């Protein structure tokens, strides 16, 4: 009798325990815990479960939007906000989310309108989103005034530090931007923008290896951002890691395999890696599909130049320069073509223009020093060689050029001293 009663009891316990456990788990509580732990994907799954039970749950709705925003999925945020009945969910968080989504999806004017017409937005959020909208509208001075006023009152929110760093980069004051961006990077470890902009800043100072670390971190945080992968490829190219540059470009090409800019970037990386024939085929295909593409014309010009087709290369590089008159790399490539034809005065002008725009290119300094040697302007050549040495330490060709320049300078000095001595005796 005891045995017969025992088994039904066990069976009942087995049947009802899952239901009891399910009832004990609060999806909204689980979602909030995941969100505050930085597990945004998991939070979204729990918010979805909460909304499947109660589609009108305002807390779950707002929480889900915030999690999407944390993942930079701004189109989904905007769609979610537009589906809301804002008269029923008219909270300060909704206004903030709507305004920020407008900035992130390219409507900064709309963001300012939302903020101006909302009386319930948290002042700190208003300042941050308003500053971002003003920067997007090229009204950086107004944004800087707002941020500096906040800084004068106490420590700055790291997201405002990021915005101040961006403003300073836009103004060309890269050195001043770095402390702000470093603060943002340390305080916002899951924000890819903090890593990207700090990487851009230190790259502008010629610290490519350091920059690559920051931008690679951004790529791990946001693997779908094409621009980040292109920057990773560019920095690897600058460091001579050409295979790594090609691998980096394959990530965005998997998403947009026909993008002409990405295909051209890969063609140029193939050329730099010594696979010029592959690069040439790819660049020619880009030009066939997109006639007049200046980037592909520059790449094809460089490849033809390396193959000895100087005149044909010059034609492509001149066309590329017409389209991109302020691109420092394109200018230096055309300068190289002119130098190979003995047009050193023209080459000198192009190198100077290139270096005024970007003085962190070792290749440009190297080419410029070679042109100055050809023009027998040895003191200037020695200075240019010294700059090139920063990027090519121990380069045997540069060492030979430097020795040649030094010898000519010594000979010139001895002649000057001899002439002064002769004039003194007279």
257 vs 418: which has the higher pLDDT: 257
Together in a domain, 289 and 314 = yes
List Cβ neighbours of 363 (8 Å cut-off, separation of 6 or more). Answer: 332, 391
pLDDT above 90: percentage of residues in the chain: 62
Q: Which of 297, 324, 351 is the last residue of a domain?
A: 324
Count of residues making up the chain = 426
Q: Both tokens of residue 88?
A: 């029923």
Together in a domain, 344 and 293 = no
Say if 59 falls within a structural domain: no
Q: Can you tell me the mean pLDDT for 375-380?
A: 89
Together in a domain, 295 and 337 = no
Residues 336 and 347: beta-carbon distance below 8 Å: yes
Residues 202 and 212: beta-carbon distance below 8 Å: no
Burial of 138 (0-12, 13-18, 19+ CB in 10 A): exposed
In the chain, DSSP finds a helix count (H) and a strand count (E) of: 24, 0
Residues 303 and 322: beta-carbon distance below 8 Å: no
Model pLDDT, residue 421: 66
Which of 362, 360, 370 is closest to 339 using CA atoms? 370
Say if 96 falls within a structural domain: no
Q: Which of 279, 295, 324 is the last residue of a domain?
A: 324
Together in a domain, 320 and 297 = yes
CA–CA gap between residue 407 and residue 35 (Å, rounded): 68
Q: Both tokens of residue 303?
A: 């490849």
269-325 pLDDT tens trace: 999 999 999 999 999 999 999 999 999 999 999 999 999 999 999 999 999 999 999
**SS3 helix, strand, coil % of the chain, rounded to 5?**
80, 0, 20
Task: Round the average pLDDT of the chain to a whole number and report it.
Answer: 87
Model pLDDT, residue 6: 43
Q: Can you tell me the mean pLDDT for 346-363?
A: 92
**Phi/psi of residue 407, nearest 5 degrees:** -65, -45
Say if 376 falls within a structural domain: yes
230-240 pLDDT tens trace: 999 999 988 88
240: left (phi over 0), alpha (psi -120 to 50) or beta: left
Which of 258, 254, 204, 202 is closest to 229 using CA atoms? 254
CA–CA gap between residue 268 and residue 283 (Å, rounded): 8
Say if 405 falls within a structural domain: yes
pLDDT above 70: percentage of residues in the chain: 90
Burial of 4 (0-12, 13-18, 19+ CB in 10 A): exposed
Q: Which of 305, 324, 343 is the last residue of a domain?
A: 324
How many Å from the N-terminal Cα to the C-terminal Cα in the chain? 138
Together in a domain, 284 and 338 = no
**Containing domain of residue 424, as a range?**
332-426
Together in a domain, 298 and 339 = no
Give the C-alpha distances (Å, rounded to integers) separating 372 from 196, 346, 369, 379, 401: 37, 12, 5, 9, 11
CA–CA gap between residue 102 and residue 95 (Å, rounded): 11
Together in a domain, 320 and 376 = no
- Give the CATH number, domain containing residue 303: 1.25.40.10
Q: How confident is the model at residue 205 (pLDDT cuts 50, 70, 90)?
A: confident
CA–CA gap between residue 28 and residue 379 (Å, rounded): 72
Together in a domain, 339 and 420 = yes
Task: Tally the domains of the chain.
Answer: 2
Q: Under DSSP, is residue 119 helix (H, G, I), strand (E, B) or coil?
A: coil
């Amino acid at each position: 009798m005891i045995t017969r009663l025992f088994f039904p009891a066990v069976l009942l316990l087995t049947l009802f325990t899952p239901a009891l456990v399910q009832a004990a788990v609060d999806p909204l509580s689980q979602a909030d815990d995941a969100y505050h732990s930085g597990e945004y994907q998991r939070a979204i799954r729990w918010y979805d479960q909460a909304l499947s039970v109660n589609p009108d749950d305002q807390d779950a709705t707002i929480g889900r939007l915030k999690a999407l925003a944390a993942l930079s999925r701004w189109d989904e945020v905007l769609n979610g906000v537009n589906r809301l009945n804002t008269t029923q969910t008219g909270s300060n968080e909704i206004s903030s989310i709507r305004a920020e989504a407008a900035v992130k999806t390219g409507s900064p004017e709309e963001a300012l309108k939302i903020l101006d017409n909302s009386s319930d937005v948290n002042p700190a959020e208003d300042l941050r989103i308003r500053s971002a909208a003003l920067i997007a509208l090229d009204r950086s001075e107004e944004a800087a005034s707002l941020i500096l006023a906040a800084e004068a009152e106490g420590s700055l929110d790291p997201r405002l530090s990021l915005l101040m760093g961006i403003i300073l980069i836009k103004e060309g004051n890269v050195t001043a931007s770095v402390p702000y961006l470093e603060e943002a990077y340390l305080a916002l470890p899951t924000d890819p923008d903090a890593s990207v902009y700090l990487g851009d800043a230190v790259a502008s100072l010629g610290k490519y290896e350091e920059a690559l670390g920051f931008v690679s971190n951004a790529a791990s945080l946001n693997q779908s951002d094409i621009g980040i992968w292109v920057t990773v490829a560019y920095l690897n190219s600058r460091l001579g890691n050409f295979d790594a540059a090609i691998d980096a470009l394959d990530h965005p090409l998997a998403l947009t395999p026909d993008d002409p800019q990405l295909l051209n970037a890969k063609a140029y990386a193939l050329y730099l890696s010594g696979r010029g024939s592959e690069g040439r085929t790819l660049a020619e295909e880009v030009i066939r599909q997109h006639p007049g593409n200046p980037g592909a014309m520059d790449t094809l010009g460089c490849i033809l130049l390396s193959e000895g087709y100087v005149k044909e290369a010059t034609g492509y590089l001149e066309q590329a320069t017409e389209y991109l008159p302020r691109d420092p790399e394109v200018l230096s490539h055309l300068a190289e073509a002119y130098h190979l034809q003995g047009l050193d005065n023209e080459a000198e002008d192009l190198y100077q223009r290139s270096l005024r725009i970007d003085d962190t290119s070792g290749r440009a300094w190297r080419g410029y020093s070679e042109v100055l040697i050809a023009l027998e302007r040895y003191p200037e050549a020695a200075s240019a060689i010294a700059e090139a040495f920063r990027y090519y330490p121990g380069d045997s060709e540069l060492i030979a050029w430097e020795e040649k320049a030094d010898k000519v300078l010594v000979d010139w000095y001895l002649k000057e001293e001899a002439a002064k001595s002769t004039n003194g005796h007279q």
